[in-house]
Structure 1
Amino acid sequence: MTTRHDDDEILAAARAGFLEEADELLSQFEQCLLGLETDPHDAEVINAAFRAAHTIKGTAGLFGCDAVVGFTHEVETLLEAVRAGHLAVDEPLIAALLQSRDQMERLLDEVRAGRSDTPDPELDAISRDLGAQLRTLLGLEAPAQQAHAPGAGTAAAAAPVGGSWQISLRFRLDALRNGLDPLSFIRYLATLGTVEHVATLDERVPGLDALDAEDCHLGFELRFASDDADRAMIEQVFEFLIDDCDLTILEPDAPAARWDALLRQRCGDDDAARARLLATWAAQGVALPMRGAPAAAAGAALERPANVEAAATGEPPAPQIERRAADPAERRRNEPERRAGSKDRRGDDTRFLRVSADKLDRLIDLIGELVIAGSGAQLVAQREASPAFLEAAQRIHDLVQEARDGALSLRMVPIGETFARFQRVVRDVSKGLGKDVELEITGGDTELDKSMVEAIADPLMHLVRNSLDHGIESAEDRQLTGKSPRGRLALNAYHESGLIVIEVSDDGRGLPRERILAKAIERGLVSADQPMTDAEVNQLIFAPGFSTAEKVTDLSGRGVGMDVVKRNIDSLRGQIHIASTPGAGTTMQIRLPLTLAIIDGFLTTVGEVHYVVPLEGVVECIETPPACKADDGRLSGCFDLRGEVLPYVDLRRAFRQDGERPARQSMLLVRTPTGKVGLLVDRLLGEHQTVLKPLGRVFQHLPGIAGSTVLGSGEVALVLDLPSLVGHAAISHAALRRQGHAGLRPATA
């Protein structure tokens, strides 16, 4: 037996599901509108936009979100006019619909915040203004257009508006099992007018011994009055019920033949059932159109077959909503078949589950602890030197690794959804700047950790807006330099060596090297006589407060943004690089690890401290070159590896570890964004699954350290941040060189 508390929890979960689905539908709606700007005559895109708006309206009605229903109905009506061919798709119409999409989002946010019962007057005013704007676009043809709703036939188009309608509804057995609440549709119907009478018919409910709680045996006879609703609008209320009910709608002036047909359809030859239904109609105030015949005569008249009466009067038979649904693909184009019509398929119709992100995070944490415990078991097995124990531990290790990969894949999502958000940004910003810019998206199916997708959205926004404002020129300037008037902004993503690479590129003017350098010298960031490569100059734009803009705009010029981008990417253990060609464009490349939770690492030691190097960056392990063996106090230097001169960093010096240096050390060759670098360590311990733990606040400022992990022995190991470590070593030697001390000196093996 469910309690009121259980019901509240179920309703809250359903409401949360509705809001999540509404967010997805709003995103789909926006993509459709942006697609219509490119191809205004794409009927499929128009239909997809209509379906998204209609689904939001219908589901919002089930939860009593009247403000959402009322405003979205205005949007839906305008889109129906476009579908019917009465309105052309142009820029004012797209702009109005995009504003309406934003308003729908704001109204849904009110529902999410629990303020839907006390509407915001300011939001109401916006809804009224936008609604008036949409009706202005409709012109005087709006009422006629509503008659062209999907499935409305000739009789529907001619149906009158206003008066009392008779709605005869019989649910099928699977309605409840398929998640449909009969009363919710009746409540939604009330948003279009007044439900004057509701008669619940329960004669089909079996006895308790034959009752299945999941079966629906109910029927309803509704009397519905409205001043402006037509057949199409009423049918749309029950559109999602088409496969789960038997529905007939009679207009206010329906002739006798239609009532005849409905009575025969519902009761057949059962005299008692006919009498009960006639009594129900009479109680609802229905005046049967029997040319003034008394009730007894009416009953006799109803004995005649409906098709005979229809033939005699020339009236068409009663239309039924299920017969108009000739094209299921139009109704549920993207929805798989929910059932085969029988109970034996109850277990086969679920393909996806919505899982709380907190539960998923908890699972990842448990997998991480299992990785640590598995490492501990392997250490014990090695100490015991038992072949059987070693084999069992290895089997556990393999299973844990498989479980780890499976758990991490649950959090992997394609980045394409994030990329798609920028279509609207590019459209609005470029129009605001008076520029014509085309957005190209590639690699949208590239996956990375969901937490990283959310964290990277903000830096990408800064980069996109910067490219639009500073990078891409106006159409006039582009034509003067021989370019196409339309600018190009591209977003691309791909995997490379265990990393995800995201690129934001444009074909604009490129970075002004001389202006950047002059500004940096003016601010004292670099000295005037300091030689710098193009890559080093480009990195100066990430300095806090740095800007070369000649004037401040709403988009940029205040010197904030790029330093935030760099800081956010650093916090994700990523790097950002810039490639720019004057007059040809700029590419910002972001390189990120695929996940922040569990990584494959290579375990080393320096003194008594363990260090883990991300395995995707390891190239090879070599014996320490002779040139690196001299203990002359240098933090780093260079060595010759098979004819290639490479830099190295002495980790003992880098982390200021005292103690006697071992007689034999090793060199770990790693790959960084600037090239290959050698790391001088005491011992190489091999591959190690690493559960990355964040550093506490006290240690977050330490350069070269990305986090920590717990080894199977219970000891703590530090995870190296290779780009930060190499950069810190270079900065340290630059400072020593300026002070006249020994710096980076090449040495040969």
Structure 2
Amino acid sequence: MSTDDDMREALDTFVTEARDLVQQLEEGLLDLEVRPAAADTVNTVFRAAHTLKGSSGLFGLRHLVQFTHVVETVLGSVREGDLEVSPGLVSALLPCADHIGTMIEGLAGGRLEPDAAQAAEGAALLAGLEPYLGDGPGATAVRHAEDAGAAPERSWRLSLRFGADCLRNGMDPLSFLRYLGSIGTVSRVSVDDSGLPAAEQMDPETCYLAFEAELLSGAPKEEIEAVFEFVREDSDIRIVPAEHQLDAYVRAIRAMPESDRVGDVLISSGAVTELEMAEALHIQQEQAVRSGTRPVPIGEILVEHGIVPRPIVDAALNRQRKTIETRSQDTQTIRIDAARLDRLIDLVGELVIAQSSTGLRAGAGGEAQSEVMRLVDEVRHSALALRMVPIGTTLRRFERVVRDVCVELGKEVSLVITGGDAEMDKALVERISDPLLHLVRNSLDHGIEAPAERRRHGKAAQGTLRLNAYHDAGNIVIEVGDDGRGLDREKILAKAVERGVVDADAVLTDAEVHDLIFEPGFSTASTVSSLSGRGVGMDVVRRNVTGLRGSIEVETTRGAGTTIRIRLPLTLAIIDGFLVGVGPSSFIVPLDRVTEIVELPSGPLGRDCMNLRGEVLPFIRLRDLFDIPGEPARRQSVVIVEQSGQRTGLVVDALLGELQTVIKPLGVLFSGLSCISGSTILGSGEIALILDVGPLVADHSEREHVRARRAA
């Protein structure tokens, strides 16, 4: 692999990790708005900003370093208790997190430098942070935001005692001071004449000079050390942070990523160079050899030899102790390429098919075959578990949406998230985010009233939006509920009649009226806003949910609120199915939808219904639905399925038993089939279609209503 390929791969890894850090930053800021005194959250957001800045510096991304440095400075003030969290501060920092995310996505697209519009936006955001910076180094960074490479200036105390042979070797001590002026500002220069002999004892070629000075410079310590490279062996050169700079180093060390090595902390903070640390380690080893005892702590050696002041070493030791205390609590994770995971799922699917084929050839029974089936089932569950992720991360992203929309609408809404630990397929999580976004925005705009209206109806001024997730019969259910005004049946029906969606004399149930809100272009909003009113969004929700083999239902009470419930399969890869036969054709019914199986009675109540223990059960003849030729079996069975609380029977010729089903997509040619969700390959090599129970039952119900209206 070439160097460019290595760099590209490293940058891709950085982008992946940076996206997670930006997400942590946003979630933490939203949490701080609710819990301003949460010290753990403050540390989390500060660490996210600090890590972003440090990682960006490794790739020379100066614009990202410069911008994130100012955000880090503000968060550092919060962390140190010098700045209180306020709604205004959170409102200023959240767009900064968005801007960092935009720059990260630009890197993913190959743009290593911001364009003019992006740079202007960044400067405006930094200007918004200036009131929270005071006159510290962060404010200086804001004032020089156009200089992306500018480093914060630091004060150094220089103790320069040149060697006696300095002049003989052609070195002029004053030239070093003059050169220091080119990389910073030299001040408080004083001459130490304690080493001067009497005049009659002086040697004109011997250097007796020693200086004490302060240097204010943005150059790193390594660059300042390099100035004295040619005289270091014969001279005593000590460069340490100035006294008034110690607090800044202590704060920087506290904010650093955890490390269990004091030396790494000191080097990363810039207080010590690698050369100085190497010299200290050498001294430590020599002392241990001479004394024959345990080595003196490296921090003590650094202080003893004047390499670094004690407050900075103490801060580094505290950072080390915190790392050791929390290291055992860290959760170890590993990133896996999604394509590799998909390949594993495909292979497991083929294994399931091969196992089914082997079972058919081997015949029923057999202890070995039973053990193979058990192992294959365990492998299947383990492989699918790799793709399962908690939905809580997706739900928490709506905290920002709720906050921003409420600010825009002038509403007060509390977001309550429950069931975040419920897991579902990662592919489903990614594809359900957009439908959930539409539902959340719709609840905030249409459902929850303004504070004044809520007070008039005896409600609390602050509304509540609930996001809930839970498992139910092999599915995951996601609920979006509010305590708002609820759906207005008469208003929806009137709008539907006006638009010609239903007839004026149509008699519809509540469920059918509520379902009208998912019609394309349908909206009851009197005005068009930036959030809603154009009639787009809810139809997208239903289309996307249906495309995921899911269903959607509405539960509402006028004046009390609305809950929209989305029901989805846990995975899109492999399901447990029940195989049935109709003539020469085979079909798979998702097992989680099957409630029971009965024999079709000889005398049904009507054309498409039967008596099931005193209950009228509608049924669907799959032979008629799919126009399968041939005569029905002498004894037919009814597979009873349940969808959104409604039970329906599927009339079939043969019951072929349960099996694990690998879902294969049908392709573009069959994309218009609403009641088929995919296909699978049976162990015999034959193809079986997988029934999509939701649309199948809904389409049958719609056809029956149309037939009834025509008959009436």
* Fold equivalence (TM over 0.5): yes
SS, match of residue 649 in structure 1: strand
- Structure 2: which 5+ residue stretches go unaligned? 142-151, 160-216, 227-236, 290-300
Map of 1:71-220 to 2, 5 A cutoff? 71-116=67-112, 118-140=113-135, 161-163=154-156, 193-194=219-220, 195-196=222-223
| Bigger mean CA deviation after superposition, 550-559 or 230-239 | 230-239
Percent of residue pairs identical: 46
The 1:71–1:639 alpha-carbon spacing in structure 2 relative to 1, beyond 3 Å, is: same
1:372 aligns with 2:353: yes
The 1:266–1:603 alpha-carbon spacing in structure 2 relative to 1, beyond 3 Å, is: same
Alignment partners' CA distance in 1, 2:433 and 2:527: 26
Map of 1:234-253 to 2, 5 A cutoff? 235=253, 243=261, 245=263
1:498 aligns with: 474
SS, match of residue 245 in structure 1: helix
| Bigger mean CA deviation after superposition, 66-75 or 102-111 | 102-111
- Structure 1: which 5+ residue stretches go unaligned? 147-158, 167-190, 200-220, 274-304, 339-349, 742-749
| Bigger mean CA deviation after superposition, 666-675 or 239-248 | 239-248
1:648 aligns with 2:616: no
Alignment partners' CA distance in 2, 1:678 and 1:644: 12
C-alpha distance after superposition, 1:13-66 (max 9, x if no partner)? 333232222212211111211111112222222222111111111122122222
Alignment partners' CA distance in 2, 1:88 and 1:605: 69
1:381 aligns with 2:366: no
The 1:225–1:659 alpha-carbon spacing in structure 2 relative to 1, beyond 3 Å, is: same
- Alignment check: 8 A CA contact 1:508 1:583 kept: yes
Find 2:51's aligned residue among 52, 55, 59: 55
| Bigger mean CA deviation after superposition, 70-79 or 230-239 | 230-239
State the AA in 2 paired with 1:61.
G
1:443 aligns with: 419
The 1:306–1:567 alpha-carbon spacing in structure 2 relative to 1, beyond 3 Å, is: closer
2:530 aligns with: 554
Alignment partners' CA distance in 2, 1:222 and 1:369: 69
The 1:127–1:336 alpha-carbon spacing in structure 2 relative to 1, beyond 3 Å, is: farther
SS, match of residue 627 in structure 1: coil
Find 2:584's aligned residue among 588, 597, 608: 608
Report how far residue 240 of structure 1 moved: 5.3
Find 2:688's aligned residue among 704, 717, 723: 717
Alignment partners' CA distance in 2, 1:710 and 1:231: 66
1:676 aligns with 2:647: yes
2:487 aligns with: 511
Report how far residue 528 of structure 1 moved: 2.0
Find 1:43's aligned residue among 29, 39, 62: 39
1:68 aligns with 2:84: no
Report how far residue 76 of structure 1 moved: 0.8
User: How big is the alpha-carbon RMSD for the aligned residues of Structure 1 and Structure 2?
Assistant: 3.6
SS, match of residue 378 in structure 2: helix
State the AA in 1 paired with 2:155.
G
- Alignment check: 8 A CA contact 2:637 2:652 kept: yes
Alignment partners' CA distance in 2, 1:114 and 1:140: 36
C-alpha distance after superposition, 1:418-453 (max 9, x if no partner)? 000000000000111000100000000000000000
1:326 aligns with: 318
Report how far residue 492 of structure 1 moved: 0.1
State the AA in 2 paired with 1:538.
H
- Alignment check: 8 A CA contact 2:470 2:476 kept: yes
SS, match of residue 467 in structure 2: strand
SS, match of residue 573 in structure 1: coil
Map of 1:426-441 to 2, 5 A cutoff? 426-441=402-417
- Alignment check: 8 A CA contact 2:50 2:255 kept: no
- Alignment check: 8 A CA contact 1:78 1:135 kept: no
C-alpha distance after superposition, 1:136-168 (max 9, x if no partner)? 32223567999xxxxxxxxxxxx99435779xx
2:192 aligns with: none
1:153 aligns with: none
SS, match of residue 44 in structure 2: helix
State the AA in 1 paired with 2:451.
A
Find 1:639's aligned residue among 610, 622, 640: 610
SS, match of residue 428 in structure 2: helix
C-alpha distance after superposition, 1:712-739 (max 9, x if no partner)? 1111001111121112222223333344
Report how far residue 251 of structure 1 moved: 12
Report how far residue 544 of structure 1 moved: 0.7
- Alignment check: 8 A CA contact 2:262 2:320 kept: no
2:214 aligns with: none
- Alignment check: 8 A CA contact 1:250 1:318 kept: no
State the AA in 2 paired with 1:196.
E
- Alignment check: 8 A CA contact 1:262 1:318 kept: no
2:190 aligns with: none
1:589 aligns with 2:605: no
Alignment partners' CA distance in 2, 1:240 and 1:591: 43
The 1:729–1:261 alpha-carbon spacing in structure 2 relative to 1, beyond 3 Å, is: closer
C-alpha distance after superposition, 1:582-608 (max 9, x if no partner)? 100000000001111100000001111
Alignment partners' CA distance in 1, 2:697 and 2:370: 35
- Alignment check: 8 A CA contact 2:241 2:271 kept: no
The 1:252–1:719 alpha-carbon spacing in structure 2 relative to 1, beyond 3 Å, is: closer
State the AA in 2 paired with 1:551.
T
TM-score normalized by structure 2?
0.79
Number of residue equivalences = 618
State the AA in 2 paired with 1:57.
K
Alignment partners' CA distance in 1, 2:18 and 2:271: 38
State the AA in 2 paired with 1:324.
A
Alignment partners' CA distance in 2, 1:358 and 1:252: 41
1:579 aligns with 2:593: no
The 1:31–1:411 alpha-carbon spacing in structure 2 relative to 1, beyond 3 Å, is: same
SS, match of residue 162 in structure 1: strand
1:267 aligns with: 283
The 1:483–1:49 alpha-carbon spacing in structure 2 relative to 1, beyond 3 Å, is: same
The 1:366–1:222 alpha-carbon spacing in structure 2 relative to 1, beyond 3 Å, is: farther
